[in-house]
Amino acid sequence: MSAGKGSKPRPINGERFRQNYDNIFGARYPHWICSLCGVAYGRFPFMDRVSTWHDGHCDICGADGPVSEPRDFGHLRKGWQHDA
């Protein structure tokens, strides 16, 4: 019995698949960001609070150095993935 698609699978356009996936699920939210990306993309980039920093890899720009969590910058503003 067939599900209506026949016995031969349709070819998949990888680029269209990726665009649809990103539109549905969005880009992956970064776990660690550097201070430059926090100031550029954070909702509250100059919060007066204590942050925990460690040496690591920024998930937005890819720089190696001190990184912290996006919550330390008030999380990221809407549209951050299009600006990065």
The residue behind tokens 């550029």 is 40
Beta strands in the chain (DSSP E): 54-57, 64-67
- Closest of 68, 74, 70, 72 to residue 27, by C-alpha: 70
| Ranges of the chain with pLDDT below 70 | 1-6, 47-49, 83-84
